[in-house]
Homo-oligomer: A and B are copies of this chain.
Amino acid sequence: MGNIFGHLFRITTWGESHGGAVGVVVDGCPSQLVLDVSAIQADLDRRRPGQSHLTTPRQESDQVEILSGVFEGQTLGTPISMLVWNKDARPSSYEHLKDTYRPSHADYTYQQKFGIRNWQGGGRSSARETVGRVAAGAIAKQILHQQRNLEIVAYVQQIHAIKTEVDTGSVTQEQVEASLVRCPDTKASEEMVLRIDQARHDGDSLGGIVGAVARGVPVGLGEPVFDKLKADLAKAMMSLPATMGFTIGSGFDSVSMTGIEHNDPFYNDQGNIRTRTNHSGGTQGGISNGENIVLQVAFKPTATIRRDQETIDVFGNPVTLSARGRHDPCVLPRAIPIVEAMMALVLVDHYLRQQAKTLP
């Protein structure tokens, strides 16, 4: 249970980090979508480790294979099955972890819940599981773009103490991709690179904040009361590994504002109903209001570090987990396409749900 997401655009992801493959089945993709497979591959490449000296050096080529649901370049309306083979399986390099619970990893909870775990590299709790999300999200993005010209851009907004402001109205994927750390602010980006290099040198790791915006969202997406747009976005983001918090619009800053400051006044912009501010982050009453959807996601510093740590083994004995191997000191740059994918999956699901409501 728990590996299915969505109500009408429904994805099932599967796969461990060191099993045969990882993949996803998309059930509910409308038919006759002209599918751009290269765009799916491009997002997988953005997610892939080893894109720069900053990220984990493990090489996974991550070539997507589409096994069903597409015929002569178009979707059939039947399930789209996509997989990526695991090529870089080196169980031996995890042998020393077989009997040890790594701090703040899922080793202990998986073992307790399931009575068994694949100790070869994180198993199902590995970030490798997000391959399926990114592939499915890339299809969702294409639907939203083709149908509504809807555009999603995610970006690194903060790494450790280095933060920046991003103009959500104008930031582009090109600006984001121009940065090694996917932060569109050139100066902050440079500082972040240095900070990450230092963390790598220290054997330590860093967290941060990813921001994202969706522009061109039609009015009316979101289903009160439980499936509010902000609620489904929150679930989507908090289902990602290492996430600790989610905000929409003004988020925790709203707390120190008063009602008169926070309310977004409506006005008529030459026939379009708009709000003068967007503290609401694009939804009101759980339903999109046509303004940009703006959200933030907090990621903790990665649990994998290259430092000795006190912990216990599976028998309950205290042990020291020795520093060894290489590590990825900051996963935020790689998280960008994943956050975009989750946002697209939520929006396309609600887009289809809204279609179902429309009686001619």
Closest Cβ of chain B to A18, distance in Å, is 9
Q: A307 near B: Cβ within 8 Å?
A: yes
**Most chain B CB atoms below 10 A, which of A263, A267, A307:** A263
Q: Give CA–CA (A226, B13) in the complex, Å.
A: 9
Cβ-defined contact, B116 with A76, below 8 A: yes
Q: Give the residue among A1, A209, A317 with the most B Cβ atoms within 10 A.
A: A1
Interface residues of A in 194-245 (CB under 8 A from B): 199, 202, 204-209, 219-220, 222-228, 230-239, 241, 243-245
CB contact between A112 and one of B12, B114, B219 (< 8 Å): that residue:
B219
Which partner residue on chain B sits nearest A120 by CB separation?
A: B71
Contacts of A260 in B (CB 8 A): 204-205, 305, 307, 309
Contact B256 A74 (CB under 8 A): no
Copies assembled:
4
Tell me the nearest residue of chain B to A109, going by C-beta: B287
Q: A12-B27, A15-B81, A284-B104 are in contact. Are A258 and B301 (CB under 8 A)?
A: yes
- A334-360 interface bits toward B, Cβ cutoff 8 Å, 1 = contact, 0 = none: 000000000000000000111111111
Indicate if the CB atoms of A247 and B309 lie closer than 8 Å: no
| Interfacial residues of chain A within 116-173, with CB under 8 A of chain B in the complex | 116-118, 123-125, 129, 143, 147, 158, 160-161
Q: Give 18 pairs: A residue, B residue, CB < 8 Å, sorted on A.
A: A1-B10, A2-B227, A3-B223, A4-B226, A14-B25, A32-B115, A108-B284, A125-B286, A207-B255, A235-B235, A235-B238, A238-B246, A244-B249, A244-B251, A267-B312, A267-B318, A268-B312, A273-B312
Query: Which residues on the B side are within 8 Å of A184 (C-beta)?
Result: none
CA distance A205 to B254 in the complex (A): 11
Chain A interface, DSSP helix/strand/loop, else mixed? mixed
Sorting the interface of chain A by its residue count into under 10, 10 to 19, 20 to 34 or 35 or more gives 35 or more
Q: Is the CB of A67 within 8 A of B305?
A: no
List, in ascending order, chain B residues with CB within 8 A of A231's CB: 234-236, 238-239
| A325 in the interface (beta carbon within 8 A) | no
Q: Is A262 an interface residue (CB 8 A)?
A: yes
Which residues on the B side are within 8 Å of A299 (C-beta)? 254-255
Interface flags for A21-55 (1: CB within 8 Å of B; 0: not) read: 11101011011110000000000000000000000
Q: Is A193 part of the binding interface, using a Cβ–Cβ cutoff of 8 Å?
A: no
**Chain B, residue nearest A288 (CB):** B109
Partner of A3, one of B13, B225, B248: B225
In the complex, what residues of B have CB within 8 A of residue A226's CB? 2-5, 235, 239
Is A311 on the interface with B (CB-CB < 8 A)?
A: yes
Instruction: Enumerate A87-128 residues with CB–CB distance to B below 8 Å.
Output: 101, 103-106, 108-110, 112-118, 123-125
Closest 4 CB pairs of A and B: A106-B285, A2-B223, A205-B259, A2-B227
List A residues 244-296 near B (Cβ within 8 Å).
Answer: 244-252, 254-268, 271, 273, 275, 279-281, 283-289
A149 to chain B, nearest CB (A): 13
Query: Measured between alpha carbons, how far is A5 from B123 in the docked complex, in Å?
Result: 25
Nearest chain B CB to A222 CB, angstrom units: 8
